[in-house]
Amino acid sequence: MSLDFSDRVAIVTGAGGGLGRQHALALAARGAKVLVNDLGAGVDGSGGSATAAQRVVDEIRAAGGEAAANGASVTDFAAVQAMVQQAMDTWGRVDVLVSNAGILRDKSFAKMDLADFRLVLDVHLMGAVHCCKALWPVMTQQKYGRVVLTTSSSGLYGNFGQANYGAAKMALVGLMQTLAIEGMKHDIRVNCLAPTAATRMTEALFPPDMLEAFGPEAVVPAMLVLAGEDAPTRTTLCAGAGSFEAAHVTLTQGVHLGSGPQVPEALQARLDAVRDRSGETVPGSGAAQGDNEMRLARGARR
């Protein structure tokens, strides 16, 4: 079953280099028309230049593909709206969003300036929100959309010195969960990609002997699957070095302890049972927690 993007239009943010560039090139190679967005800023978000996006556009065109450049900052909603309008004016539709733009401002939480915390949230979380919000009416009207949000193991599992980055990346999983539910009736499928890739933003974190194995091109197959016509929805795929995993937010079976003054100590005593992962589930929505709690309560009353 071929992953064919002919006649599809994709917007890839942060596509001037690294992982975003690989995403844009791969989509174009499979037939997509690609709007290549990149502010051209430094890893920390400073500065800006439109040349990064244009270089990738030139690569795509040299290979026979169709692409256009955009230098909007994803933190600017008006600029993001104009970016979507540029794609609509050029090609008449947008089928795929790969939200990849990001920056790093790493420091331990004790030493982190709140301005750096807010900026990372602004780029990663609000940048994705801006893109989704600007595209939602387009995808709703055409009854088709594929959205790939870039999360991270730092958000899913934590990483020292990345409280801002981790908070933003886990928030994207929450955004995916609800947008996937709301988009279902319009065939808008929303997924997350957690890459492990050595790029300009992350290469300093990798030992030299791992740099080659974790090239960004190894992540691309997961993006193509999540952006394709037969994509799943509400799926978090992890990818790196040619390996692929899925991450889930799960709910344990839990225990019923009732109410009353004895419950805090009872919970402390039964905490291992509450955390026991045997029989855990992946809830279909947030309502599943309340449903499970009611099931336990009814069972206790029998």
Residues taking part in catalysis: 165
Q: How far apart are CA 43 and CA 201, in angstroms?
A: 6
CA dihedral 10, 14, 18, 23 (to 10 degrees): -10
DSSP string, 170-183: HHHHHHHHHHHHHH
CA distance 235 to 274: 25
Q: Distance between CA atoms of 167 and 220, rounded to whole angstroms?
A: 24
Asked whether the beta carbons of 69 and 54 are under 8 A apart, the reply is: yes
* Start-to-end CA span in the chain (Å): 51
DSSP E strands, 65-155: 66-70, 96-99, 145-150
Cβ neighbours of residue 37 closer than 8 Å, sequence gap 6 or more:
11, 12, 13, 14, 15, 53, 69, 70, 71, 72, 74, 83, 101
